[in-house]
Chains A and B, each alone.
Chain A
Amino acid sequence: MNNRLFRKIKNHLFFGLILLSAALVLIPLFLVLKFVFVQGWSSLSLSFFTEIPKPVGEVGGGMKHAILGTIYIVLLGALIAVPLGVTCGIYLSEFGKSKLSKTLKLTVDLMSGIPSIVIGIFAYLMVVVPLKSFSALAGGVALSIIMLPIIIKTSEEILKLVPTHIREAGLALGLPRWKVILFIILKGSVSNLLTGIILAISRAAGETAPLLFTAFGNMYLSYEINKPMATLPVQIYTYAISPFKDWQRQAWAGAFVLMVLILTLNLFARYVLTKIKDKKGI
């Protein structure tokens, strides 16, 4: 009898501990969301989306330049990382037994562990120094390095999900391997690949460190690839550490917009993924 009571207590105790750790994870997440939403929402106005910053002291102004800059640089990064990453993913999944592919796999794993500030320094040395200017291009290169390991890993995993007998069926039709890969394996995985790409993009969109001394930032609208360009994370950083109340409020609004942007991308990717899984469940 005593034994049973003891067991019950133990059971409750462990269950309680598990609940507690779940709560400990959830609470900070919700607090972050709450702060950003409350502060951000109240600081948000239409002019935030339509105007560029006004000189210090003047009321109003917005982050149109940084919103567009973030989209510009993220797309630039994706333009570099997507073709390269998907190709590497194909290589690893379809020809994954060679020495080169083992090296590549290790490199990709190491790459995803590089601190983002180091990636920023790398892009600074590779692009900013030779071109003698901070630039959107340098920012794009830095973000593409953030995206690459994610895209490579997800592409590889997704293509490996395609069963061997599908490949064999393609080969047995007398199709060369490259056609089987391109028109049967890849075509059948497009929406899956897209999910991985969106996740990589949403990860890169929130990065600040790699952009600090590559894209650098500015206070006006620019579409020039070889000139500094503002981005939401860097703009938030600049405004948040400034002493001006008005700028700090704008930083909250910027954080809010950035978070909604990334959240939407993530939810979209998840939605696409579940749709695919539903379709496959035949």
Chain B
Amino acid sequence: MSLRKFAAGPLCALPIGLFLLIGFAAPLLAVIGFSFMPPRTFGLFLNPTLVNYIEIVDSTSYISFLWSLALAAVTVAILAVICYPVAYGMARIFGKWSMLVTLLFTIPLFVSENVRLYGWVLFFIKNGVLLGTLKSVFGIEADSWLFTTGIILWGMVYVYLPFMLFPMTLGVAMVPDQIREAALDLGATRWQVFREVELPLSMPGIMIGFLLSFVLAVGAITEAKVLGGQRVIPIIHDIEIAFTYAQNWPLGAALAVLLMLVVGFLVLLVLRRFDLDAILGRR
């Protein structure tokens, strides 16, 4: 009886524990393991080597890393500027309409990213919705915008907007009305209220939005492929090539591990700078 009582907790946790182990830890460990295998091999238990990492350092892979990080950083910056006013409106102004805005931003998520991006291709392509209309209605013949870096950013901002907007909205909504009013009552101008009170207090939501959209945007590939016509090769695309056409799993795994390290490092750096707990006054 006492044994059963003792074991009940761990026993109940066992399935989910195993699930996590198999579903999360095992693939991750497999990726790490593969990254130390000789190039173009398919076993996990060969003699470990650093060849893949050396190959990456010697190659031009840094270009892809830089593109991915730069595109993600610019995307996050653009999203911050676009989303804050919308988030502010949704949390404080739109009232019952904010539900509608939420729907407008979430419904597209039910459609696959590929389909939505192909939609934009049809919109922007030569003689497509935009340029075709410009040409037939206004007689303006503009160069196609497709297959440029700018259009890749457009796609990324479009795809990752909800991931910035909703945490940000929560962040703004977290600032109690009375605190805002108190600051105003103590003589602060609207700008001072924003800078001294609203911004710092909505920081947790903003930071979560930043991190979420950054991490997702670093992993972006479809925008560059579909809208960008592969004029930019983000790091994920390099990883994909390694795992598919090149059939060089160890190289792909090493790229993946490096990407995890780089992104992990950046995220930790940000989290150190902005201690969420401290911002929330929990510490």
Do A and B interact with each other, yes or no?
Answer: no
